Amino acid sequence: MGEILGMGTTHYPGLTGTDEGLCSIWQKIINAPRINPRWKDEANWPDGMSEEIGADKGLSSAGEYRQRMWDSFQKQREIIDDFDPDFIVIIADDQYENFKEDIIPPFCIFGMDDEFEQEPWNHGFQANKENYWGEPYDQKIKFYGHREGAKYITSGLLERGVAMPYAYKLSNSPVLAHGFNYTVLYMDYDRHGFDHPIIPLHVNCYGSSVISAEGAFAHLFKEPEHDGLPDPPAPNPALCHEVGANLARVLADSPYKSVIMASSSWSHCFLSSNTGYVVPDFKSDRRMLEALKEGDYDFWRRRTMDEVEGAGHHELLNWHVLTGAMDALDRKPEIIDYAETFIFQSNKCFAVFPPE
């Protein structure tokens, strides 16, 4: 029987940049043309927001926030190293990076080469921008894949009735989507190397907005366009839960020692209509956290897509796959940290689900 470690983390893109870049994103959002002008008046800000911004527009808070993130990543990295898995299944999303108009699958497993290189600063969200590590744009970083494990998982899911697509190479991008790359980069933030093989499992978290909003916040600057009906939606929480439960069963029956890791932040302010697209949906995040701590995975499974999208929980669908897996294994989490913020776009949760 395969041993399984569960883990929830984030791939928050702001951490790849400098502190100046990290603390400037909220200003771009709050001044976007489709944001209610009331947000430009500090008198309308919620309690605590001015304090986080401070006298330097958030620069001091950025350094403190980054260190808090690094501390949690370090704890998770130590847990992974001690567990010493055969591979890590990283559940993350693609934001109009590899999957575009030619195909938008609801899920996809990648069987990458045993060794492959990524150039994260030449492509994607952080392309040609100064990064936190001061690495050159053409910096090549070694990653490790596990194609045999990807084949085993995909075959097992198909045998259990899950119509899981798979791929051995990328389509529209020379590098993996940032949700996968940044997860690895943060687990190796001190640049000692990360030699644990990964199996990326893509979830189409952005659904009908992945093309129109280009997977980010283009919708704050222009009216989304589509002909006729909207594009098809993301897989709903119940479907993500089912896929996760079957993933756990496949790995439990496998000869492998594995980590099931969901990577995403929680409520994204720029996606939350509940909060006017400026601050995260604290109320929804706190309710999800409460249910997670209690192991109330049915609460997670029963959420509707209207609830998901209203709260800006699009990327939390990655965690719905994880909670489906942990439900099947009857696991409850240990919360390493839960961090709320007004200006760093999203609340973050770091959790581990230890093996029995």
Burial of 111 (0-12, 13-18, 19+ CB in 10 A): buried
- Residue ranges of the chain with per-residue pLDDT less than 70: 214-216, 224-226
Residue-wise pLDDT for 58-89, tens only, equals 999 999 999 999 999 999 999 999 999 999 99
Of the candidates 307, 346, 300, 349, which has an alpha carbon nearest to the alpha carbon of residue 323? 300
pLDDT of res. 150: 98
Task: For Cα atoms 4, 354, 330, give the angle at the middle one, nearest 5 degrees.
Answer: 75
d(CA 345, CA 28): 11
Of the candidates 270, 251, 278, which has an alpha carbon nearest to the alpha carbon of residue 312? 270
pLDDT of res. 226: 65
Q: Residue 235 gets which letter from DSSP?
A: P
d(CA 97, CA 123): 9
d(CA 40, CA 30): 7
d(CA 66, CA 339): 11
pLDDT of res. 300: 98
pLDDT of res. 15: 96
CA 285 to chain centre: 15
Q: Which residues on adjacent β-strands are paired with residue 203?
A: 93, 107
d(CA 72, CA 231): 37
Residue-wise pLDDT for 276-304, tens only, equals 999 999 999 999 999 999 999 999 999 99
Is the distance from CB of 298 to CB of 308 less than 8 angstroms?
no
Q: Residue 7 gets which letter from DSSP?
A: E
**What is the secondary structure of 51-75 as a DSSP string?**
HHHGGGTTHHHHHHHHHHHHHHHHH
What's the chain's Rg over C-alpha atoms? 19
pLDDT of res. 210: 86
pLDDT of res. 216: 66
Question: In the chain, count of helices (H) and strands (E)?
Answer: 11, 10
Fold of 4-353: Protocatechuate 4,5-dioxygenase; Chain B (3.40.830)
d(CA 42, CA 59): 18
Indicate the domain borders of the chain. 4-353
Is the distance from CB of 75 to CB of 83 less than 8 angstroms?
no
Q: Which residues are CB-contacts of 5 (< 8 A; sequence separation ≥ 6)?
A: 79, 80, 83, 85, 258, 259, 260, 352, 353, 354, 355
CA 155 to chain centre: 25
pLDDT of res. 215: 58
Of the candidates 202, 108, 98, which has an alpha carbon nearest to the alpha carbon of residue 154? 108
